[in-house]
């Protein structure tokens, strides 16, 4: 019953979710779970209940939204933020507190990371305030609790946990001095009146959200974000979203691996090197491992260290490629891909990673070639399908993009049906 297009349209209207970006299977599974919870026998019966219950509408949205976040995700962006914040205070002669916005803030890891980064950089509490916002009341409530498990602390350097958390039986509690810097609330970016009475923000974090929208919704959301960001402010986005902002007149500030954009290009800045994360599609067995960020690591030129691979370590090398790319080491990731191809038979996942690395570096034709190689080896590789579709869409081939999106959705549906 759950492939009823009415549910796709409902989520598109309420939160802007483009079904092609996540695959029909994700939405179908959420509808099926909610229908079973209410013991609805048919799609029509559940639809009627959904239309009459605000609580159920929110429950379906919560079932679709699966927060995936941790403290100091994309660590270089926080290093860049600290540097920019100090410079910004000088520019405004410290006449007011800096205003920073994090949305969607999910369960609070990002806004609290912002606060911790600035406090550790030497800013006084009165010099900045952080606003966190998310469409999910459940996520906001968890953020307000400020209690986190070990999954929120990833990477080899988690020394910040000793400085800013207190461990209790139910988890790690955020320190009050950090909590006081962050205000949290529920809000929807599709609301035209969002923060209408608020002053603009010096820094806005909106990461890995635009990729879930179609082009029309992306433009709508971008206009809101631009209005929220001070004319001299900086917008931090996700690794795969740089080309989207570029189409709307934003330019990278040139800080490698920070994914930071301003309204005007900075003169004589080096071209940024963007490193992608996995596509926002459920990961298959060959998918990369979670990101291993290194909080407060300094941005340095990557040194390519050849990785010697024995014929038996294909899976380990695939994981190594993913880790290098996710840590922002694009040159090393490319070298690892080449090392894999030199020691092992061609693999779709390797060509997919090479496509992503080329894509976000601005080499569209090269990326297209790699994606097609991945699809030659694995015709239903949903991640390669989605990224190739995005490339075709940007080149004006909307029909070709829709065909690939449909293939990706069918692939995800088939994967879902075969799972126990």
Which 8-state DSSP code applies to residue 187? -
Total domain count, the chain:
3
Residue 293 lies in a domain: no
Instruction: Please list the residues that pair with 173 across neighbouring strands.
Output: 147, 166
Residues 107 and 10 in one domain: no
Same domain (yes/no): 199, 327: no
Could you report the per-residue pLDDT of 85-127, keeping only the tens digit for each?
999 999 999 999 999 999 999 999 999 999 999 999 999 999 9
Strand ranges across the sheet with 98-102: 182-186, 128-134, 98-102, 201-205, 229-236, 260-262, 251-252
Q: Is residue 149 part of a domain?
A: yes
The answer to whether the Cα torsion of 37, 42, 45, 46 is positive or negative is: positive
**Residue 286 banded pLDDT, cuts 50, 70, 90:** very low
44 is in which domain, residue-wise?
Answer: 5-64
| Torsion angles phi and psi, residue 384, rounded to 5 | -65, -40
Query: Cβ neighbours of residue 147 under 8 Å, at least 6 residues apart?
Result: 168, 170, 171, 172, 173, 174
C-alpha dihedral over 121, 123, 125, 128, to 10 degrees? -100
212 and 145 part of one domain: yes
State the pLDDT confidence band at 202, using cuts at 50, 70 and 90: very high
- Average pLDDT rounded to a whole number, residues 34-42: 88
CA 101 and chain centroid, separation: 16
Q: How far apart are CA 40 and CA 269, in angstroms?
A: 58
* 105 and 246 housed in the same domain: yes
* H/E segment holding residue 251: strand 251-252
Give me the residues paired with residue 147 across strands. Answer: 173
At 131-178, the pLDDT tens digits run 999 988 999 999 999 999 999 998 778 999 999 999 999 999 999 999
Q: 159 in a domain, yes or no? A: yes
CATH number at residue 362: 1.25.40.10
User: 11, 82, 18: which is closest to 218 by C-alpha?
Assistant: 18
Alpha helices in 286-418 (DSSP H): 314-326, 330-343, 348-360, 364-377, 382-394, 398-418
Contact 25, 415 (CB under 8 A): yes
| pTM of the complete model | 0.62
83, 157: one domain = yes
174 and 104 in a common domain: yes
């Amino acid at each position: 019953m759950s492939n009823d297009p009415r549910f796709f349209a409902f989520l598109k209207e309420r939160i802007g979710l483009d079904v092609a970006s996540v695959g029909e299977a994700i939405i179908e599974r959420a509808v099926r779970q909610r229908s079973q919870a209410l013991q609805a026998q048919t799609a029509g019966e559940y639809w009627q209940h959904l239309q009459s219950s605000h609580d159920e509408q929110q429950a379906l949205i919560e079932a679709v939204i699966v927060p995936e976040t941790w403290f100091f995700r994309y660590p270089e962006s926080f290093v860049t933020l600290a540097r920019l914040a100090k410079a910004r205070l000088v520019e405004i002669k410290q006449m007011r507190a800096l205003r920073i916005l994090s949305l969607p803030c999910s369960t609070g890891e990002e806004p609290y990371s912002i606060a911790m980064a600035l406090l550790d950089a030497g800013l006084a509490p009165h010099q900045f305030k952080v606003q966190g916002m998310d469409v999910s009341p459940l996520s906001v409530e968890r953020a307000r609790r400020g209690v986190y498990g070990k999954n929120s602390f990833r990477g080899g350097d988690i020394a910040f946990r000793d400085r800013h958390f207190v461990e209790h039986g139910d988890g790690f509690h955020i320190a009050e001095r950090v909590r006081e810097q962050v205000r949290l609330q529920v809000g929807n970016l599709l609301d035209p009146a969002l923060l209408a009475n608020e002053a603009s923000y010096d820094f806005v974090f909106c990461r890995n959200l635009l990729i879930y929208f179609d082009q029309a919704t992306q433009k709508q959301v971008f206009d809101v974000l631009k209005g929220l960001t001070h004319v001299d402010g900086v917008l931090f986005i996700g690794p795969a979203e740089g080309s989207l902002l570029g189409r709307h007149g934003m330019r990278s500030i040139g800080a490698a691996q920070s994914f930071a954009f301003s309204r005007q290009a900075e003169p004589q800045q080096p071209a940024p090197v963007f490193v992608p994360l996995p596509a926002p599609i459920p990961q298959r067995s060959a998918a990369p491992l979670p990101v291993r960020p290194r909080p407060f690591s300094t941005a340095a030129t990557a040194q390519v260290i050849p990785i010697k691979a024995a014929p038996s370590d294909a899976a380990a090398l695939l994981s190594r490629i993913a880790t290098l790319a996710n840590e922002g080491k694009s040159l090393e990731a490319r070298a690892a891909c080449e090392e894999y191809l030199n020691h092992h038979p061609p693999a779709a996942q390797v060509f997919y990673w090479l496509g992503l690395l080329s894509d976000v570096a601005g080499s569209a034709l090269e990326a297209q070639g790699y994606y097609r190689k991945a699809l030659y080896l694995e015709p239903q590789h949903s991640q390669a399908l989605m990224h190739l579709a995005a490339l075709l869409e940007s080149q004006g081939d909307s029909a070709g993009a829709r065909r690939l999106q449909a293939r990706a959705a069918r692939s995800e549906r088939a994967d879902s049906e075969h799972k126990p």
